[in-house]
């Protein structure tokens, strides 16, 4: 038995998700007496994957793979899967992984389940629990093919150490050219993205206008958080579309989600429910968000948020 993970990196640095995917795969492997191999593309410090149970790394270094490209990356990962005869392939649910996995499943003739939140149950087939109906429910999906691809939801499994010293081998398959050309990448590198964030600070129509987002950004800064917003806020152009979270926007599965001036409509909650701890700040104690949150403050954002920023700064200073 052999498992392969795609360990994603950005600018050479392995992402937290890569370690989470490694933890998940090695947890499957330890029940099956199998080995976990990771394929990395232009990543540094790949030995660190050993800490989470990876036994072998197929280390790809190739200038032409510097920018992400679906066609070339699928080519590399499927060749890596064939190299180690992988029966189970695990990826994260980052934007890029979601882009790659369906094509990989066709390439490898593997069944693919996305948005998986738990380890497989193997008493009766190979069933994985996944989010369905945008987090309103779970489904047990039985993958019936010999090869299986699992898309692990971010933050669903967490990090679990299982220290190994991995064998690192250079892997340089021949790569087919891609018909898709990346013209430009416009990425805000000094901001945390919603997908990567441990903490997300989100604000809604209760903030009254785009000019009031300064305190939201400051709060996010203090917490090292990503900023997000409700759908009307992006529809009105107060914030960029990329910040829209919810059922029809981005899903959020952070450790902490702070909702400020957001009523908590069913479509909003659906998309953020997978977050572990939810905090709401709203003037209206009847706002539906209070039913979905763990902690709440009934109060005016314009008074509460500045205080929260100050107190958090003090807390950070004291706990630094």
Partner 1 sequence: MKILVCISHVPDTTSKINFTDNDTAFDKNGVQFVINPNDEFGLTRAMWFKEKQGASVDIVTVGEKDVEPTMRKCLAIGAEKAIRVDAKPVDAFQVAKEIADVAKNGEYDLIIAGRESIDYNGGMVPGMLARLIGAHFINTCVSLEIEGDAATAVREIDGGKETLSCKLPLVIGGQKGLVEEKDLRIPNMRGIMMARKKPLDVKQPVTEVTKVEFKSFSKPAPKGDVKLVDAENIDELINLLHNEAKAI
180 binds, among ligand FAD, partner 1, none (CB under 5 to 8 A by kind): partner 1
Contact 225, 241 (CB under 8 A): no
Length of the chain in residues, anyone? 320
242 binds, among partner 1, ligand FAD, none (CB under 5 to 8 A by kind): partner 1
Helix (H) or strand (E) holding 314: helix 301-319
CA dihedral 203, 208, 209, 215 (to 10 degrees): -50
284 lies in the site for ligand FAD, by CB under 6 A: yes
Q: Which is nearer to ligand FAD, 72 or 273 (CB)?
A: 273
- Draw the binding track, 36-55, toward partner 1 (x: CB under 8 A; -: no contact): --------------------
Binding ligand FAD (rule: CB under 6 A), the pick from 82, 85, 267, 307 is: 267
The nearest distance, CB 264 to ligand FAD, in angstroms, is 7
Block residue for tokens 């080995």? 35
| Strand, coil or helix: 259 | strand
320 lies in the site for partner 1, by CB under 8 A: no
By CB under 6 A, which span of 49-57, 114-122, 211-219, 300-308 interacts with ligand FAD? 300-308
In the DSSP assignment, the letter for residue 273 is: T
180 lies in the site for partner 1, by CB under 8 A: yes
| Residue 175: both structure tokens together | 């790569």
β-bridge mates for residue 88, sequence order = 3, 148
CB atoms within 10 A of CB 236: 12
233 lies in the site for ligand FAD, by CB under 6 A: yes
210 binds, among ligand FAD, partner 1, none (CB under 5 to 8 A by kind): none
What is the Cα–Cα distance from 65 to 42, expressed in whole angstroms? 8
Which residues form the interface with ligand FAD (CB under 6 A)? 204-206, 230-233, 246-249, 261-263, 265, 267-268, 271, 281-284, 287, 300-302
């Amino acid at each position: 038995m052999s498992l392969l993970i795609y360990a994603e990196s950005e600018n050479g640095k392995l992402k937290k998700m890569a370690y989470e995917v490694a933890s998940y795969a090695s947890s499957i492997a330890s029940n099956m007496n199998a080995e976990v191999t990771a394929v990395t593309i232009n990543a540094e410090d790949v030995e660190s994957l050993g800490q989470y149970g990876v036994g072998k790394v197929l280390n790809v270094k190739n200038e032409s793979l510097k920018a992400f490209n679906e066609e070339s990356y699928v080519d590399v990962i499927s060749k890596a899967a064939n190299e180690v005869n992988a029966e189970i392939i695990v990826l994260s649910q980052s934007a890029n992984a979601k882009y790659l996995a369906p094509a990989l499943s066709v390439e490898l003739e593997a069944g693919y389940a996305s948005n998986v939140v738990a380890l497989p149950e193997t008493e009766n087939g190979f069933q994985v629990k996944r989010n369905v109906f945008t987090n309103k429910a779970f489904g047990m999906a039985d993958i019936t093919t010999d090869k299986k691809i699992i898309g692990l939801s971010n933050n669903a499994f967490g990090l679990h150490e299982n220290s190994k010293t991995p064998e690192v081998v250079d892997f340089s398959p021949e790569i087919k050219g891609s018909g898709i050309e990346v013209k430009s990448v416009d990425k805000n590198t000094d901001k945390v993205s919603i997908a990567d964030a441990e903490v997300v600070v989100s604000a809604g129509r209760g903030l009254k206008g785009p000019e009031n987002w300064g305190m939201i950004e400051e709060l996010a800064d203090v917490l090292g958080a990503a900023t997000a917003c409700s759908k009307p806020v992006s529809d009105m152009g107060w914030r960029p579309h990329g910040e829209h979270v919810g059922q029809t926007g981005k899903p959020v599965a952070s450790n902490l989600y702070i909702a400020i001036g957001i009523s908590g409509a069913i479509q909003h909650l659906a998309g953020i429910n997978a977050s572990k701890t939810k905090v709401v700040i709203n003037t209206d104690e009847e706002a539906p968000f209070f039913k979905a949150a763990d902690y709440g403050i009934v109060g005016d954002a314009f008074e509460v948020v500045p205080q929260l920023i100050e107190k958090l700064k003090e807390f950070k200073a004291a706990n630094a």
